[in-house]
Amino acid sequence: MTIQAGDRLPEVPLQRIRNGVETVDTGALFEDRKVVLFAVPGAFTPTCSEKHLPGFVAHFDQFRAKGVEVACMSVNDPFVMQAWGQSQHVPDDLMMLADGNGQFTRALGLEMDASAYGMGTRSKRFALYAEDGVVKQIFVEAPGEFRVSSAEHVLSQLP
pTM given for the model: 0.95
Do residues 81 and 96 make contact, with C-beta atoms less than 8 angstroms apart?
Answer: yes
The percentage of residues in the chain with a pLDDT greater than 70, rounded to a whole number, is 100
Query: What is the reported pLDDT for 17?
Result: 93
Residue 138 identity (one-letter amino acid):
I
User: How far is the C-alpha of 114 from the C-alpha of 124, rounded, in Å?
Assistant: 10
The pLDDT value given to residue 61: 98
Residue 54 is predicted with a pLDDT of 98
Pick the catalytic residue from 3, 37, 39, 48.
48
pLDDT for 118 equals 80
Average pLDDT (116-140) is 94
8-66 residue pLDDT tens:
999 999 999 988 899 999 999 999 999 999 999 999 999 999 999 999 999 999 999 99
Of 85, 94, 107, 102, nearest in space to 11 by CA = 107
Per-residue pLDDT at 106:
97
- Give 66-112 pLDDT, tens digit per residue: 999 999 999 999 999 999 999 999 999 999 999 999 999 999 999 99
Alpha carbon distance 142, 62 (integer Å): 26
Sorted by where each starts, the structural domains of the chain and their CATH numbers stand as 13-157 (3.40.30.10)
Residue 48 is among the residues annotated as catalytic for this protein = yes
